[in-house]
Amino acid sequence: MTRTTHRLLTVFSSPIGILAVVACLALLFLAVFAPIIWGAAAAATDTDQLSRGPSAEHVFGTDGSGRDILLRTLVATRLSVVMALTATVAGVVGGVLVGLLPLIVGGRIGRWIVAAINIGVAFPSLLLAIAFSVILGQSGTAATLAIAIAMVPSYGRLTHNLAASVWGRDFVSAARVLGVPEWRSVFRHVLPNVRDPLLVNAAITAGNALLAFAGLSFLGLGIQVPEYDWGRMLNEGMTRIFVTPAAALVPGAAIILAGLTFVLLGEVLGQALTPASRGRITRRLRRLRPTSAAPADARPVDDDAVLSVRDLRVSAPGADEQWLPLVKGVSFDVGRGEIVGVVGESGSGKSVTLMAVAGLLDAPLHVEADAAHFDGAPLTLGTGARASSLDHRLGQRLAMIFQDPMSSLNPALTVGSQVAEPGLLHLGMSRAQARTAAIERLEAVRIPDAERRYSQYPHEYSGGMRQRAMIAAGLMGSPALILADEPTTALDVTVQAEILAQLRRVNEEHGTAIVLVSHDIAVITSLCTRVLVMYRGRLVEDVSTADLREGRATHPYTRALLATVPTMTTPRDQPMASIPDDADFSEGSPTAGVEVLRAADDPGLVEAFGDPDRVAEEIS
């Protein structure tokens, strides 16, 4: 059983899936059998009972000719659904062909087809269908064709957008390089890869076709007497709505139910064919509290420290309805004016720890701590306390810098207003004061021409400048602590040095403590006085940088980490060391305490560049 079939089965056995299947089967049953079973009864006119209300004989009453409204509605299912599905099939096939054509034809003609599709999409399909029904006349067949044609542009654009993204991928390019004809690549490689979203959309399109069809018939441009579909019934019922409302309301309800059936089918197909979300598991989990197995840290909170955390635990909802611990009881202190580094591999919990301390973790993550003090006051909240009660203090005294300066500034607002914002929010500044202060801070972080730069947008700044603007925003208050989460990772090396120098300057001038998270141990040792090493959610080492340099680290992971850092004396004729992915430094694991360094995988690189003498020979 493939994964898709498995997912289909799972989704179709969920309540919403079962509902969709039942609704589809009911619709199918009515479309096939209703005219056979009730066709004659629905056509029978009861002249004694014209425009009657509901009775035992006629559940929803009769129309102006004395015909049973419910039976007519049921019988009309076939024409309504068949016409809609015919139009959908024709429109979808046309749309797919038109959407793929630009790829097959290519070049200028291809671009023209795309432009034509785009122009067609601008016009609403009902308008197109009305226009085409002028040419094709007013009949069921004409309306079907008109709706199908009107569907082509939007479905064509969807196909083209999906296909164009697959077209650029390597395996398709490879096929084209190998000389496979365009049309064959399109049908063999592109179409199967865009099939799922096209199917989902076809279900929704069918629903729209049904409504469009009802609309055209309602206007009198679709099915003509003596045939009838739901739209035609609405048209006749509308004129008599004051006499027999059911004549309009019953077919109306049928249209909505049928439309919802297609929407539901699309929704269920969408769930089955696109990667599943973990929503339901999370919901069920929220009622359970995570339990921590970590031993409580007995040390009392250090009141002199700017930040003091005891037994911080963060958990996330995991796959098997279990809470997955991300941070497993971490305790540390940061002294005033101290620069502390946090290192560890990705996923070791260093960023999560920082975000938890800043109170920025959001549901579904769960944060707990025995105690946490910041700047002399507790950070922890009792039950029922509002998180916003901490806002003012944190807003003034805690600054944050994030990893990616490209995405950390709001693209829709000027950089200056974002820098000035803390002044307005927490320092009681007027707009003009905040502006002046912000320009000062921008100058302090060496943004040239700060006055003009104030009113520019982030996209007009370089990466390094954005990160300095983030620091400037942090400096608006008088922060006691800056939490910097990989502030230089996304920047190139020269800019990195600049940002680190800027942080050091802030530390020296204002006595601001800094916690610097990085996976780059070289960055850490150059700036920090103390290093916290995290490994798989635990703090495994708290060591001064001096000790670290002298090789006095105790934890095997720290030692392994240090050994991977190349120095000026690292022998260049040997492969560079790295920590294997499968190494486990947890206590009690077989590799713990063992030297597990492995040579880098690519010896060719070392051969070519490793031996300077040989390189020199080769050059000369």
Q: Is 121 in the site for another protein (CB under 8 A)?
A: yes
Q: How many CB atoms lie within 10 A of CB 478?
A: 12
Give me the least distance between CB of 347 and another protein, in Å please: 19
- The two structure tokens encoding residue 123: 């016009």
User: Among positive and negative, which fits the CA dihedral 52, 55, 56, 61?
Assistant: positive
Give me the least distance between CB of 241 and another protein, in Å please: 6
Q: Is 95 in the site for another protein (CB under 8 A)?
A: no
- The two structure tokens encoding residue 530: 């103390």
The CA distance from 545 to 530, in Å, is 5
> Which of residues 53, 106, 137, 593 is near another protein by CB under 8 A?
137
Instruction: Round the CA-based radius of gyration of the chain to a whole number and report it.
Output: 34
Q: Between residues 184 and 392, which has the closer beta carbon with respect to another protein?
A: 392
Q: Is 606 in the site for another protein (CB under 8 A)?
A: no
Contact (CB, 8 A) for 533 and 343:
yes
- Residue 476 CA: distances (Å) to CA of 320, 400, 509: 45, 12, 14
Q: Is 259 in the site for another protein (CB under 8 A)?
A: yes
> Which of residues 318, 364, 378, 575 is near another protein by CB under 8 A?
364
> Which of residues 175, 301, 358, 577 is near another protein by CB under 8 A?
358
Which region among 60-68, 161-169, 395-403, 576-584 touches another protein (by CB under 8 A)?
A: 395-403
Taking alpha carbons only, the member of 290, 397, 344, 395 closest to residue 539 is 344
Q: Is 408 in the site for another protein (CB under 8 A)?
A: yes
Q: Is 252 in the site for another protein (CB under 8 A)?
A: yes
- Helix or strand (DSSP H, E) at 337: none
Q: Is 15 in the site for another protein (CB under 8 A)?
A: no
DSSP 186: I
Q: Three-class SS of residue 297?
A: coil
Residue numbers 426-465 binding another protein by CB under 8 A? 426, 457, 459
Helices H / strands E in the chain, number of each: 25, 13
Q: Is 566 in the site for another protein (CB under 8 A)?
A: no
Give me the least distance between CB of 579 and another protein, in Å please: 29
Q: Is 282 in the site for another protein (CB under 8 A)?
A: yes
Contact (CB, 8 A) for 155 and 194:
no
Contact (CB, 8 A) for 129 and 218:
no
Q: Is 357 in the site for another protein (CB under 8 A)?
A: no
Q: Between residues 368 and 542, which has the closer beta carbon with respect to another protein?
A: 368
The CA distance from 468 to 445, in Å, is 6
Per-residue contact string for residues 34-63; x = within reach of another protein by CB under 8 A: ------------------------------
Give me the least distance between CB of 221 and another protein, in Å please: 6
Q: What angle do CA 246, 251, 254 make, to 5 degrees?
A: 125
> Which of residues 18, 127, 546, 608 is near another protein by CB under 8 A?
127
Residue numbers 412-431 binding another protein by CB under 8 A? 412-413, 418, 421-422, 425-426
Taking alpha carbons only, the member of 277, 338, 313 closest to residue 481 is 338
- The two structure tokens encoding residue 320: 């098997």
Q: Is 381 in the site for another protein (CB under 8 A)?
A: no
Q: Three-class SS of residue 598?
A: strand
Q: Is 473 in the site for another protein (CB under 8 A)?
A: yes
Per-residue contact string for residues 508-547; x = within reach of another protein by CB under 8 A: ----------------------------------------
> Which of residues 25, 40, 53, 123 is near another protein by CB under 8 A?
123
The CA distance from 479 to 481, in Å, is 5
Q: Is 89 in the site for another protein (CB under 8 A)?
A: no
Q: Between residues 327 and 548, which has the closer beta carbon with respect to another protein?
A: 327
Q: Number of residues interacting with another protein: please give it, by CB under 8 A.
A: 72
Q: Is 219 in the site for another protein (CB under 8 A)?
A: yes
Which residue bears the tokens 């749309």? 95
- The two structure tokens encoding residue 253: 């309800």
Q: Is 363 in the site for another protein (CB under 8 A)?
A: yes
Give me the least distance between CB of 231 and another protein, in Å please: 8
Which region among 4-12, 290-298, 368-376, 393-401 touches another protein (by CB under 8 A)?
A: 393-401
Q: Three-class SS of residue 312?
A: strand
Burial (Cβ within 10 Å: 0-12, 13-18, ≥19) of residue 439: buried
> Which of residues 404, 520, 542, 584 is near another protein by CB under 8 A?
404
> Which of residues 131, 199, 301, 606 is near another protein by CB under 8 A?
131
